[in-house]
């Protein structure tokens, strides 16, 4: 079962920051938070991941709360091409269960 909770949908104006929340209240100390997105008819695309600290790359920023029970993915300047389903996934550090267990995700629609 997925260990994350996300809103089913969100809208964002083009050029504005998109902030996508994720709740993972049962996360354990040996689990990463991963974010992927899936544009229609394409495979999931890796965005970013983190364990404890906030992370930033060329695509997005990941803010993880101090208690690690929730996180926020930030797309700083959303474009129409960012319209996609965004998945927040909790993934164990070790063991054979290193697969990704996808939840329902958030459908982000960027509006012109």
Partner 1 sequence: DAMVIQNPRYQVTQFGKPVTLSCSQTLNHNVMYWYQQKSSQAPKLLFHYYDKDFNNEADTPDNFQSRRPNTSFCFLDIRSPGLGDAAMYLCATNLGQANQPQHFGDGTRLSIL
What is the rounded distance in angstroms from the CA atom of residue 56 to the CA atom of residue 42?
24
At closest approach, how far in Å is the CB of 77 from partner 1?
Answer: 23
Contacts of 21 (CB under 8 A, 6+ apart): 6, 7, 70, 71, 72
Site string for partner 1, 35-64 (x = CB under 8 A): ------xxxxxx--x-x-------------
Exposed/middle/buried for residue 103 (C-beta within 10 Å: 0-12, 13-18, 19+)? middle
Task: Out of 8, 53, 58, 99, point to the residue binding partner 1 (CB under 8 A).
Answer: 99
Q: Is 103 in the site for partner 1 (CB under 8 A)?
A: yes
> How many residues interact with partner 1 (rule CB under 8 A)?
25
At closest approach, how far in Å is the CB of 97 from partner 1?
Answer: 9
What is the rounded distance in angstroms from the CA atom of residue 18 to the CA atom of residue 34?
17
At closest approach, how far in Å is the CB of 109 from partner 1?
Answer: 15
Task: Out of 5, 21, 61, 91, point to the residue binding partner 1 (CB under 8 A).
Answer: 91
Closest to 71 (Cα-Cα) out of 19, 106, 30 = 19
Q: Is 101 in the site for partner 1 (CB under 8 A)?
A: yes
């Amino acid at each position: 079962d997925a260990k994350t909770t996300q809103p089913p949908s969100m809208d964002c104006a083009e050029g504005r920051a998109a902030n996508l929340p994720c709740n993972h209240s049962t996360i354990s100390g040996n689990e990463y938070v991963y974010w992927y997105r899936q544009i229609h008819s394409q495979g999931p695309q890796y965005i970013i991941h983190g364990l404890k600290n906030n992370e930033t790359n060329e695509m997005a920023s990941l803010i993880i709360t101090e208690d690690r029970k929730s996180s926020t993915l930030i797309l700083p300047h959303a474009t129409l091409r960012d319209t996609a389903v965004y998945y927040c996934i909790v993934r164990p550090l070790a063991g054979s269960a290193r697969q990704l267990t996808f939840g329902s995700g958030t459908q982000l629609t960027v509006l012109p």
